[in-house]
Amino acid sequence: MNMNRGNPFQKEVVVDSWPDFKAVITRRQKEAETDDLDHYTNAYAVFYKDFRAYQRLLEEHDVINWDQVFQIQGLQSEVCDVSNAVANSKQLGVKLTSFKAVQFSPHSALPDTNALKGSSPRLTYLNIADADLLNRTWSRGGNEQCLRYIVKLISCFPSVCVRDDKGNPVSWSLTDQFATMCHGYTLPEHRRKGYSQLVALTLARKLRSRGFPCQGNVLDDNTASISLLKNVRAEFLPCRFHRLILTPAAFSG
């Protein structure tokens, strides 16, 4: 969908064969400017009908840039074992994180704006001036590459935030390059006010109104977010979301 809407992350699709394909990988266009340390932007998404076709595609010359730090993500179980095996054969380090996959259906709860009374706080959207705060508070962030990535996400995709009386964000969520809701966060001093639920449901409605899927993921030990998702009647999917970050030996030190 993002490729058909201006393709802001300069993606392209690689298949093992056409039209009867068995494996699909999305990747950055080769002519796109890249930073070899930027695994946020150097991202591949995977779908396959036959994991052996995916493995052959991985092993083909020139499908993956194995000389940079990058990530692979997918919703199928073999993506971990296959990617790990090929990466090990090329002496890359692999960090795997697995999440519960979740989606917001049209039957999810509606946003409750009772948490917002008077002129402040107010519900709005993020802008690039907020990127430094998001970089500092994201568990995956705190570096130059993540800061650039967040600026790009805010510039290109839907976001929602609650701002205090000084205009500063206190709770927010945004959308990543794969149309996934991400970095849902509320500053500690503003928690237990209903902001996280309001932000998540508002972003889901905004995505749905633009024709995007309303999807996300959550770590198994993030009990607060899991409880919130259950409260708003989000659907936990039978599959899991897998993200592998792969690092060549030249960058592992």
Model confidence, pTM: 0.92
- Cα gap 193→92, rounded to integer Å: 44
- Cα gap 81→197, rounded to integer Å: 35
- Cα gap 159→212, rounded to integer Å: 13
For the segment 201-253, what is each residue's pLDDT rounded down to a tens digit? 999 999 999 988 899 999 999 999 999 999 989 999 999 999 999 999 999 86
Distances (CA, A) of 252 to 10, 11, 68, 72, 226: 27, 26, 11, 17, 33
Q: Take residue 157 and report the two structure tokens written for it.
A: 């995709």
Dihedral over Cα of 10, 217, 153, 113: its sign: positive
For the segment 190-206, what is each residue's pLDDT rounded down to a tens digit? 999 999 999 999 999 99
For the segment 152-193, what is each residue's pLDDT rounded down to a tens digit? 999 999 999 999 999 999 999 999 999 999 999 999 999 999
Task: Quickly count helices (H) and strands (E) in the chain.
Answer: 6, 11
